[in-house]
A and B are shown apart, each in its own frame.
Chain A
Amino acid sequence: MKSPCIEFKRARPLLGTIVEITLLGTDLSRCEQAFGAITLVQQRMSFHDPSSTLSRINTDASNGPVAVDDKTFRVLRMAHLFYSSTNGIFDPTIAPQLQRAGFLPRRRGERQPRAASFGDVELLPKKRIRFRRAGTRLDLGGIAKGFAVDEAVTILRRTGIKCGLVNAGGDLRAFGPRPFAVGIRDPRRPGTTFASLVLKNCALATSAHYFAARLKPGAQLGPFVDPQFGEFRSELASVTVVAKRALIADALTKVVMLDPDNSLAILQRFAGESLVCTTQGTVFSTPYWHERLQAAA
């Protein structure tokens, strides 16, 4: 059955990746507001941009409470929820480790803190944030991209768009009555897919090594830091999570990547399903992956 609607796609470089918006049979000017919402998230939550809200937090929150906007505070609260419900597996205070490993830029005069955790981050009334430990730095890279996708979907729906898909370099969300076929890149052969599924009214995110790795070729290391040990784990080459919202899917991929054995209960709590490919090339899924895939069609 051919879809009666014509697909329109637009793409822009944002969030350090290529963000693509697909709408069905509609006026593409509506994309503007959605790209605008994503740009706003980038301006506020980019680690790389010294003028972002996040950079202001990283510079000033050790000296006293920093008031932030509503969206940034929402993301911080979600980060705290994931931190507390994963026993600290999800922890955005890994920025200094990522900087040491060369995945994030260093700034002049920055102190190398002792190991901080999100437990040292206080979320205060009136949307304020404070670091208990000097030199703590947050990286929202594990969650902000998903949030940006959710924001874009919210705007599109609010302007009356019934159906579409927003894809920020693999963190994507489909909305509306039409299902979208999504392929998952094979980490061993990035030009091919090793699985595909049909997404309807839900989000999917993948974390993997093939593009993100910046160390020696073939080293199979991605920008994932175990907050407890500060080391890179590489048992999994690729982790995909399906969840209701892109922020949840995005955050859960990091949790599964770092601790697959303990992540099943966490996935269940957030109604997420997951598909993973080990560095050995074996593929595993959560028990209801297939069921969910069928139900979505």
Chain B
Amino acid sequence: MKDWIPFVAVPAVATGSALPGVANTYLTVEQAQKTIFPGASCTQFPVTLTPDQQKKIESRSKVGVRSRDLKVWRVSNGGWFFVDEVLGKHEYITYAMGLTANGAVKQIEILDYRETYGYQIRDEPWRQQFVGKTADSPLNLDQDIRNISGATLSSRHITDGVRRLLATYEVALH
């Protein structure tokens, strides 16, 4: 690392802090319905998958079904609106998917995104020492760090979830 300089964190800027930005709520279910299907109305459509349907969905999509109770709405224009959750190793994502009357994906919106790591809970007292330090910041930052840069967060789990929902549509709603 020739000619690079050792980095000393500016003490007034919070470092070592947990990431509040990695727990974001973007849209409520109702907002997502209005976003994906503007001007249409959505009526909840209660569906509980039978064990046979579950098996079919799993074999078609190659994705496990975690809940047999679907969160699905019939849209006044003939489309469908789904709310689904996917779970990664560290992330938990709720998203909404709109299908057109023909069963094609119209739009996907993320409703809620959270990350959790085991050591965050363990290290709570250690992290407490940083609380309040930002108040003296010469930058006078009183906003949380809501934006994170790091390596790419994968959307693979959402892709898997969408495949499962499309199979669900074929098997249980079509």
List the interface of chain A (C-beta within 8 A of B): 1-3, 7, 9-14, 16-18, 20, 22, 28, 145, 165, 167, 169-172, 179-187, 189-199, 204-212, 222, 238, 240, 260-261, 264, 275-276, 278, 282-287, 289-290, 293-294, 297
With A195-B15, A264-B3 known as contacts, the answer to whether A208 contacts B150 (CB < 8 A) is: yes
The 10 closest A-B pairs by CB, nearest first: A185-B150, A191-B117, A13-B155, A284-B4, A183-B145, A208-B151, A11-B110, A283-B7, A169-B152, A206-B149
Q: How many A-B residue pairs have CB under 8 A?
A: 194
CA–CA, A294 and B155, complex, Å: 34
**B142–A190 contact, CB under 8 A?**
no
**A211–B26 contact, CB under 8 A?**
no
List the interface of chain B (C-beta within 8 A of A): 1-7, 9-10, 13-19, 21-22, 24, 26-27, 35, 90, 93, 95, 108-110, 113, 115-117, 119-120, 138-156, 158-159
Q: Select from chain B the residue with minimum beta-carbon distance to A289.
A: B7
**B153–A192 contact, CB under 8 A?**
no
Q: A190 to chain B: which residues have CB within 8 Å?
A: 90, 117, 150
| Nearest Cβ on chain B to A142's Cβ, whole angstroms | 12
**A183–B19 contact, CB under 8 A?**
yes
**A192–B19 contact, CB under 8 A?**
yes
**B4–A285 contact, CB under 8 A?**
yes
With A20-B24, A181-B146 known as contacts, the answer to whether A196 contacts B14 (CB < 8 A) is: yes
CA–CA, A190 and B150, complex, Å: 8
**B150–A211 contact, CB under 8 A?**
yes
Contacting residue for B6 out of A171, A197, A284, CB 8 A: A284
Contacting residue for B110 out of A18, A182, A207, CB 8 A: A18
Contacting residue for B140 out of A1, A183, A191, A285, CB 8 A: A1
Contacting residue for B151 out of A195, A199, A222, CB 8 A: A222
Q: Select from chain B the residue with minimum beta-carbon distance to A205.
A: B149
**A182–B152 contact, CB under 8 A?**
no
**A196–B13 contact, CB under 8 A?**
yes
**B159–A182 contact, CB under 8 A?**
no
Q: A282 to chain B: which residues have CB within 8 Å?
A: 1, 6
Q: 7 additional contacts, CB 8 Å, given A16-B154, A278-B1?
A: A13-B108, A191-B90, A196-B14, A196-B17, A196-B145, A208-B150, A284-B4
Q: A222 to chain B: which residues have CB within 8 Å?
A: 151
| Nearest Cβ on chain B to A253's Cβ, whole angstroms | 10
Pick the most buried of B4, B22, B35, B153: most chain A CB atoms within 10 A of its CB. Answer: B4
Pick the most buried of A145, A165, A191: most chain B CB atoms within 10 A of its CB. Answer: A191
Q: Select from chain B the residue with minimum beta-carbon distance to A197.
A: B13
Contacting residue for A2 out of B6, B17, B142, CB 8 A: B142
**A16–B145 contact, CB under 8 A?**
no
**B140–A290 contact, CB under 8 A?**
no
CA–CA, A282 and B5, complex, Å: 11
With A10-B109, A191-B19, A260-B1 known as contacts, the answer to whether A210 contacts B115 (CB < 8 A) is: no
**B1–A284 contact, CB under 8 A?**
yes
Q: B152 to chain A: which residues have CB within 8 Å?
A: 16-17, 145, 169-170, 211-212
**B24–A9 contact, CB under 8 A?**
yes
Q: Select from chain A the residue with minimum beta-carbon distance to B91.
A: A18
Contacting residue for A211 out of B117, B145, B147, B154, CB 8 A: B154
**B147–A287 contact, CB under 8 A?**
no
| Nearest Cβ on chain B to A36's Cβ, whole angstroms | 11
**B27–A290 contact, CB under 8 A?**
no
| Nearest Cβ on chain A to B137's Cβ, whole angstroms | 9
